[in-house]
Amino acid sequence: MQIIRHSEQTLKTALISKNPVLVSQYEKLDAGEQRLMNEAFQPASDLFGPITLHSPSDWITSHPEAPQDFEQFFSDPYRKTPSPDKRSIYIQSIGSLGNTRLISEEYIKWLTGYCKAYFYGLRVKLLEPVPVSATRCSFRKPENAFCVVEITMIDLYPRDSWNFVSGQASDRWYSFFCFARYGSDFYSMRHEGKVKKLKKTSSSDYSIFDNCYIPEITSVLLFRSCKTLTHEIGHIFGLRHCQWLACLMQGSNHLEEADRRPLNLCPTCLHKLQCAIGFRIALVRWIDDESSGTPGATPEHSREGNGNLLKPVEAFKEWKEWIIKCLAILQK
């Protein structure tokens, strides 16, 4: 295992810059915000750790990129910032996301709520879901959209040289996500004998995907989905892959590496997002705000009649504790 450690001065420059204008801007931030982000270059801090590489196939090793500090982000003429008339993130599901209609609807609501809490201050809206067979139709971006994201359980890959992709920001306003491989049984499923008769279909016939594999919506799948969703939307804001500290914006080349990546942004990337939309931590409320199903119930045992399922947030426990530590620093 290789640990990537940067000097305190390197991390401080990446976070604040040496540009006097940006230094002055940073010093005008709320004192609590500065305390939290200054943890980036505090040797004794246990909030933000270094990046660890476990194999040559990890992203930083296999996809060399120039790092992006705050000054480079701030000076990027192409970065996208929400405006008063474009402050909405639209989410649309393609095909079913759960084994029942209720589970599918609740899952997309949980993702929407998480997105609202993570990008606090932006509106997050749902577009009408569409079947896979309808994806050949043209798509029109809502006028007030900051970005549009599409979510599916269909396994995807962008080109023949890739084996799959979990998420990709295709341009400055559009992203898509596939969460099929986040299911615990994806790699153990066996399909021998399920096809009784071969059927020739044209390359434009998408209806064959309408009854594809759909994983069980577990706490781990929700955790992984939230991580990919916010990572890719971060790219739409102009945040590139992080190479400073362990961070949500690290690239990942495989599921094991994606699981090591934290849900939180490092201070440098947090400063970038703060510059774009302001600063407020509302995620503890999202974790605690479990739907009013039967106490201790799972999606399979909750009462479908009341239209609510218990949000599976067990996988978020350690991260909630981390957020509470951050809040303590902010409110000190």
Determine the Cα–Cα distance for residues 118 and 28; give it in Å rounded to an integer.
Answer: 23
For residue 161, count other CB atoms closer than 10 A to its CB.
6
Take residue 125 and report the two structure tokens written for it. 């809206």
Most distant CA pair in the chain, distance: 70
**From 33, 39, 106, 232, the catalytic residue:** 232
CA 321 to CA 329: how far, in whole Å? Answer: 13
Task: Please list the helix, strand and coil fractions of the chain in percent, rounded to the nearest 5, in that order.
Answer: 40, 10, 50
Minimal CA–CA distance to 85: which of 125, 123, 137, 47? 123
Tell me the three state secondary structure of residue 268: helix
Can you spell out the DSSP letters for 110-143? HHHHHHHHHTTTSEEEEPPPB-GGGTTS-----T
Q: Find tokens 């990008």 and name the residue.
A: 119
8 carries an active-site annotation: no
Cα–Cα distance measured from residue 317 to residue 276, given in angstroms and rounded to the nearest whole number: 28
The span from the CA of 188 to the CA of 229, in Å, is: 25
CA gap 239, 225 in Å, rounded = 19
Burial bucket for residue 126 (CB in 10 Å: 0-12, 13-18, 19+): middle
Which residues are registered as beta bridge partners of 88? 123, 145
> Which three-class secondary structure state does DSSP give residue 169?
strand
How far apart are alpha carbons 150 and 91 in whole angstroms? 6
Exposed e or buried b for every residue in 50-59, given b needs 16+ CB within 10 A? Answer: ebebeeeebb
Q: Which residues are known to be catalytic? A: 232
